[in-house]
Structure 1
Amino acid sequence: MSTTTTRNQHGYAAFPALDPGLEALLSTFEFNAPENLEALQAERERLSKSSANNLPSDLNCILHKEHVIQGPLGDIKLSVFSRDSSSATSTTTPGVFFIHPGGMCVGSRFLSCDVALDWVRDIGAVCVTAEYRLAPEFPDPAPIEDCYAALKWMVQNATALHFNSSSLIVAGGSAGGGLAAGLTLLCRDRKEISVAAQVLVCPMLDPDNKTASSFQQVLPGMWSRNANRYGWDCLLGEGRYKQDVSIYAAPSRAKNVTGLPPTFIDVGECEIFRDECVAYASKLWTAGVSTELHVWPGAFHGFDMVVPNTSISVIARRTRNAWVNRWFQNLKIVAPASSNAINGEV
């Protein structure tokens, strides 16, 4: 018995059914995806009052310190998260540089940082997050260069921060995942910083908006096709339609991904970034880069960052955390990083 598949105005079938636990929460999920400057300003204002965009209240055993460093365009505010530094040793402790989500145009260094705080708790990592400049006020290359400056400071101060710079993870979610992928490419090419692994959570990689999953996206309350177009326009302007877009801004454009570190990518089955994430993983495999990819069934964009307690979110986070833990356990720790701390202190 044959069935007829309903297709949308673009000629694509709808996404598979949402996970029941996520579907029940979607109607209560408040996310105003910006599609113009007025909506962007409203979303920034809403996020500024949201607990998700501020320092987590349940740090428990985690220490938090703030630093301000000089960036390419001015000061950059950083947060450093760690366990009790009195028991830390820079010879074995890994470092994590986490880049926050927000469509390139909203968010703060605290948004979704709990993803990386899991690794601070589980393996004793030292985590740094940066308040990178946002588009459209600061288009490319401002966000990626802010991230590079912050990461360089982190590595230069590895001993003072009590982590081994040879055990460095670059990670991020959504727009932050795209910046993490671009930052890892930039580190490879500038040859100043060695990245040992990258963790890309539903990364925003491709400005073209031409994948099947981008056309399938019709559900409300999620990062939409129009919102994605707006985010990329903020970052790249009219330049996003050009083929010579920087690979550090749009990692999907990278033709050469050799020499990149082991990679973890995960993404929802029912989200706009699904196909570009699968394509990027395939590109990495073709280049001989060890890559683990998970496409979570029935999951929308950023599901485990916004509703972390549903069953599929718990499974996804456990899987990601297990990969990080396995990577750390398998890593051959080299000699302690030399101290380049500014004035010997941070």
Structure 2
Amino acid sequence: MARVGTGIMPAPRLPDGVTREFVELAHGTGVHVFAPEGGGSGAALLWIHGGGMVIGAAVQDHARCADLARDLGIVVVSVEYRLAPEHPYPVPLDDCHRAWEWLLTEAPLLDVDPARIAIGGQSAGGGLAAGLVLRVHDGGGPQPAAQWLFCPMLDDRTAANRELDGVRHFLWDNRANLAGWTAYVGSPGAADVAEYAAPARRTDFAGLPAAWVGAGDIELFYSEDRDYAERMQRAGVDVTLEVVRGGPHAFESLAQKAPVARKYAGRAQAWLAARLGVGART
């Protein structure tokens, strides 16, 4: 039902001064390109939507992406990736990596500096963003300028912890988490789960780009997100960990107009702007 609902979700009206174009990269995957009219600042963000690896679509974040393009004067490329269980790991990550390579190739036409591209996402999209950063780092070549991770889904071992099933986490609890991770990797908690699928499995964080990690302290992913941020920091990565007291999962999307969500989003956007060397236009 969630997939059907997302599939019929109408695209929001674009704000003045922003264009959107869809580019198909392969069957079932592509990118939505949000660009400021009249040229941007030369920076860009590759954005990956959430949905527990099993639901969701890029359209759910169209308003966010368009606003970022307008407010920061950057090109925002939002990935349409294939979902599990029909397309388990590594297909969703492959789709995101294809989008990254496309953005690098098209950078001159988009007036984007390859050295000023951030990778970001929310929830499952945050996990895919973190995994993509690791994969790009290990592969060499142009590197992202920053990683921008909202309540990222990073650790399959959380889903394997049955003690968490009794906790009533708002929006995304551990029973849903088990379903999502099982669809994506097959056996959450197994020894052979790849670190690109579950970035929390990573042990070497040296050389990764600066990271912003945000989470509420009552959500299921709080512990794994905090641990990931602190391990990156101990490895010398420049990390900003933003913890919102009393914040449930993805509250910044569910209650966008609430003062706490607006302030949280504002701080996150200011961090991204500073990392990309841009200034707010509004």
Match of 1:257 in 2: 205
Q: List per-residue Cα deviations over 1:242-294 (Å, max 9, x = no partner).
A: 22211111000001111110000100111100000000001101110000011
Choose the corresponding residue for 1:139, options 88, 97, 100: 88
Choose the corresponding residue for 2:39, options 80, 87, 109: 87
Q: Note if contact 2:28-2:82 (Cα within 8 Å) is conserved in structure 1.
A: no
Choose the corresponding residue for 2:168, options 207, 210, 218: 218
Match of 1:122 in 2: 71
**Judging changes above 3 Å, is the alpha-carbon distance between structure 1 residues 211 and 241 closer, same or farther for their aligned structure 2 residues?**
closer
Match of 1:21 in 2: none
Q: List per-residue Cα deviations over 1:202-250 (Å, max 9, x = no partner).
A: 000011126799567314x510110001000010112x23222111110
Match of 1:158 in 2: 107
Calculate the TM-score normalised by the size of structure 1: 0.76
Following TM superposition, the consecutive aligned residue runs of length 4 or more in structure 1 with deviations greater than 4 angstroms are 210-216
Q: Note if contact 1:265-1:294 (Cα within 8 Å) is conserved in structure 2.
A: yes
- Which piece of structure 1 moves more, 293-302 or 178-187? 293-302
**Judging changes above 3 Å, is the alpha-carbon distance between structure 1 residues 263 and 307 closer, same or farther for their aligned structure 2 residues?**
same
2:24 maps to a residue whose letter is V
| TM-superposed deviation, 1:328 | 2.5
Percent of pairs identical after alignment? 31
Cα distance between partner residues in 2 of 1:253 and 1:126: 31
Map 1:1-346; keep pairs closer than 5 Å: 42-50=1-9, 54-70=10-26, 74=27, 76-84=29-37, 86-88=38-40, 92-209=41-158, 214=164, 217-219=167-169, 222-238=171-187, 240-329=188-277
| TM-superposed deviation, 1:58 | 4.0
Q: Note if contact 2:205-2:231 (Cα within 8 Å) is conserved in structure 1.
A: yes
| TM-superposed deviation, 1:312 | 0.8
Gaps in structure 2 of 5+ consecutive residues:
none
Calculate the TM-score normalised by the size of structure 2: 0.92
Q: Note if contact 1:100-1:113 (Cα within 8 Å) is conserved in structure 2.
A: no
Higher Cα radius of gyration: 1
Q: Note if contact 1:99-1:109 (Cα within 8 Å) is conserved in structure 2.
A: yes
Q: Note if contact 1:217-1:270 (Cα within 8 Å) is conserved in structure 2.
A: no
Q: Note if contact 2:48-2:128 (Cα within 8 Å) is conserved in structure 1.
A: yes
Cα distance between partner residues in 2 of 1:170 and 1:294: 17
2:16 maps to a residue whose letter is N
Cα distance between partner residues in 2 of 1:321 and 1:216: 35
Cα distance between partner residues in 2 of 1:186 and 1:282: 20
1:87 maps to a residue whose letter is G
2:152 maps to a residue whose letter is P
Greater relative contact order (Cα < 8 A, sep 6+): 1
Q: Note if contact 2:33-2:75 (Cα within 8 Å) is conserved in structure 1.
A: yes
Gaps in structure 1 of 5+ consecutive residues:
1-41, 332-346
RMSD: 2.1
